[in-house]
Amino acid sequence: MIPEPGQGELRAFIDQADAKAFVFDPEFGRRADELAGQVRVDDVFSLGPSATGTDLLPLMEQAPPVLPRVEISQQDIVSVLYTGGTTGRSKLVTHRHLYYDVIALAAGRRAADSPGQQRFLVCTLVTHSSGHVSTLTGLLSGLTMVLNDDFDAGETLATIERERITGIALTRRCSTRCLITARAPSAAPQR
């Protein structure tokens, strides 16, 4: 459950995506449960016990060790992600298999071009396109990934210092907030 957009917009995105199933984390609380009860999909699953949907975790234990082979072409849509509208309105973005092939190539290039210990901080949701591509590229290139549960400019700046971060992914709004906070006299790290 992402903090934006609102419930109505999320329902519209799910309808627009023609989703067959909805999977949610009950740790996101009441908002996740409410949305799970409102979406028009064939199946609703939770990642843990919930009043709504079927808990996937016990079902995963019953899955065979080798899953059936599924053929996917480069033109098949394999993910639908939310983007916050930096280029205009909020929208859904579909990614085909080829997109992930390109991420794998970019990850190889990053690993080759960035020798030494790399520590990457992702301060945007992995369900958002920018967080998704940053996280996948980092993981596939062998970087140490640091993920924050929430965004706070001061905490982000402290994390960069504390974790010796060498790269970061921020949305435009978060980047601006970090720059403003960094200029404040009280934001200077205490040594």
The domain limits of the chain are 116-186
Q: What is the pTM of this model?
A: 0.59
- Evaluate if residue 184 carries a pLDDT over 80: no
- Evaluate if residue 58 carries a pLDDT over 90: yes
Stretch 1-30: mean pLDDT, rounded? 75
- Evaluate if residue 191 carries a pLDDT over 50: no
Task: Look at residue 183 in the predicted model and tell me its pLDDT.
Answer: 82
Q: Would you tell me which CATH number, out of the four given (3.20.20.70, 3.10.20.580, 3.40.50.980, 1.10.3720.10), belongs to the domain 116-186?
A: 3.40.50.980
Task: Look at residue 55 in the predicted model and tell me its pLDDT.
Answer: 94
Most confident stretch, 51-60, 72-81, 95-104, 171-180: 51-60
142-167 per-position pLDDT tens digit: 889 888 777 889 999 999 999 999 88
Q: For residue 158, what are the CA distances in angstroms to 39, 52, 149?
A: 39, 38, 14
Output the average pLDDT for the chain: 81
59-90 per-position pLDDT tens digit: 988 888 877 787 878 787 777 776 766 666 66
Contacts 24+ apart (CB under 8 A), 46-52: 47/23, 50/24, 50/26
Look-up: residue for tokens 């909020």?
90
Rounded distance, CA 156 to CA 146, Å? 11
Rounded distance, CA 38 to CA 41, Å? 9
Task: Look at residue 2 in the predicted model and tell me its pLDDT.
Answer: 47
- Evaluate if residue 32 carries a pLDDT over 70: yes
First to last CA, the chain: 37
pLDDT-derived band at 129 (thresholds 50, 70, 90) equals confident
Rounded distance, CA 135 to CA 10, Å? 23
